[in-house]
A and B are shown apart, each in its own frame.
Chain A
Amino acid sequence: MHLAYPAVLAVLLFCTGLYGVLARRNAILVLMSVELMLNAVNLNLVAFDVWLRDTLHAGQALTLFTIAIAAAEIGIGLAIVLLVHRNRGTADIDKLRDLADPPPAGSPALHDSMAAPTDNDADQARRARRQTA
């Protein structure tokens, strides 16, 4: 088998995951896209291990380690997302803007579009919390 087939498939899967990470709004869908990217890396590792006929089987061992680390990552990530959802009432990463820089006093025009949704979203989150409580 040509090595180009698994390599190209891994590239396309990685870029699909990249698009998902950048475009999705729900935090859990972002985690799913991260899983796609990790799987693309795994496919590369396995393909190159089979091609090189490594005596240590480093590629396959690393693939197993990556799978285990991905499982740990998804557990911690989901725990964090659930905690955020419990405290804020939302899992939308667009609305989690507490760490965003406040608009500087000198150039308010540049950052108006950034500042306006912050207040709205805080209000919305508060309202959602009140509704569900």
Chain B
Amino acid sequence: MSAAVQLAAAGPGLAAAGHGFLSPTGVEIAFVLVGLATLGAAVLSVTTRQLVHAALWLVVALGGLAVEYLLLTAEFIAWVQVLIYVGSVVVLLLFGLMLTKAPIGRSPDADSGNRPAALTVAVAAAGALVWVVVDAFRTTWIALDKGVQGSTAVSGESLFRHWVLPFEALSVLLLAALVGAIVLSRRSGHDSGQGVGPGPGQGKEKR
């Protein structure tokens, strides 16, 4: 997967004015290293045959993304990522794995039969998108040293000054999702006889 990074580092003549791909700054080195770890964890998370390990590799990938947000000076997003993704979404996924009686240990049928087709589609999409993105943005430079772009003060101010209405609409959506999850996972009276669920743990996926 580092081939793409090498592809991005194809030539110093293509770089932004004064910033070559062959003379990376410290932030760029850190970004590429953490990015490689993130990508490796993501690939392991979609290819491992142990279902619980997939969720744990997802933790590594999401944590690595939080570090990338920090490197991009979006600190508030980074901490929200840690809180919500690593803190709750992965826990929900682990609960889901346990409640659907996922096999502990290797399960040989974790991948379906269309794996070669999926690999073809993913590699083709990755090749095309990397080509397009590198071609489009090889001379674009992010000035990270001109002030923090995503501190809590800045994010909060823009969120509650310009984005209040979407924010409130989103809270209504979260409430609707909460009620929907409760209604979906509630055991209704007439079909409780044929249920095969693990019993009283059914309500665990609600926050």
B-binding residues in A (CB < 8 A): 1-9, 11-20, 22-29, 31-33, 35-36, 39, 42-43, 46-47, 49-51, 53, 56-57, 60-61, 63-65, 67-76, 78-83, 85-87, 89, 91-94, 128-129, 132-133
In B165-207, the 8 Å CB interface with A consists of 166-167, 170, 173-174, 176-178, 180-181, 184-185, 194-197, 202, 205-207
Query: Would A78 and B96 count as touching, CB distance under 8 A?
Result: yes
**Residues of A close to B195: CB separation below 8 A:** 86-87
Inside 8 A of B85's CB, which chain A residues have their CB?
A: 35, 39, 67, 70
In the assembly, what is the distance between CA of A43 and CA of B194, in Å? 44
Chain B: residues with CB nearer than 8 A to chain A? Answer: 1, 4-5, 7-8, 15-16, 19, 21, 25, 27-28, 31-32, 35, 38-39, 42-43, 45-46, 51, 54-55, 58, 61-62, 65, 68-69, 71-74, 76-77, 80-81, 84-85, 88-89, 92-93, 95-97, 99-102, 109-115, 117-119, 121-123, 125-126, 129-130, 133-134, 137-138, 140-144, 146, 149-150, 154-155, 158-159, 162-163, 166-167, 170, 173-174, 176-178, 180-181, 184-185, 194-197, 202, 205-207
On whether the beta carbons of A51 and B158 are closer than 8 Å, the reply is: no
Task: Say whether A82 contacts B99, CB under 8 Å.
Answer: yes
The docked-state distance in angstroms from the alpha carbon of A76 to that of B9 is 42
A/B interface sample: 9 pairs, CB < 8 A: A3-B142, A15-B129, A24-B111, A28-B51, A29-B46, A39-B61, A57-B158, A61-B155, A87-B195
Question: Per a CB cutoff under 8 Å, which of B62, B112, B150 touches A24?
Answer: B112
Is the pair A4, B80 in contact by a Cβ cutoff of 8 Å? no
B89 near A49: Cβ-Cβ < 8 Å? no
Point out the residues of chain B lying under 8 angstroms from A93, CB to CB: 112
* One of B45, B88, B141, B154 near A32 (C-beta < 8 A): B45
Q: Are B134 and A79 in contact (CB under 8 A)?
A: no
Task: Enumerate chain A residues within 8 angstroms of B205, measured Cβ to Cβ.
Answer: 75, 78-79, 82
The chain A residue sitting closest to B55, CB to CB, is: A32
Inter-subunit contact A16/B43 (CB<8 Å): yes
A71 partner residues in chain B, CB cutoff 8 A:
84, 88-89, 174, 207
Contacting residues, chain A, for B39 (C-beta < 8 A): 9, 12-13, 16
Please report whether the interface of chain B is mostly helix, strand, loop or mixed according to DSSP: helix
Indicate if the CB atoms of B100 and A85 lie closer than 8 Å. yes
Task: List residues of chain B with CB within 8 A of the CB of A61.
Answer: 155, 158-159, 162-163, 166
Please state if A28 and B102 are interface contacts (CB–CB under 8 Å): yes
Nearest CB of chain A from residue B20's CB, rounded to whole Å: 10
User: Which among B46, B72, B122 is the interface contact of A6 at CB below 8 angstroms?
Assistant: B72
Q: Are B181 and A76 in touch, CB under 8 angstroms? A: yes
Q: Of B1, B31, B158, which one neighbours A12 at CB under 8 angstroms?
A: B1
| Partner pick for A25 among B97, B109, B121, B174, CB 8 A cutoff | B109
Known: A11-B129, A76-B180. A16 touches B80 (CB 8 A): no
The answer to whether A2 touches B141, judged by C-beta atoms less than 8 angstroms apart, is yes
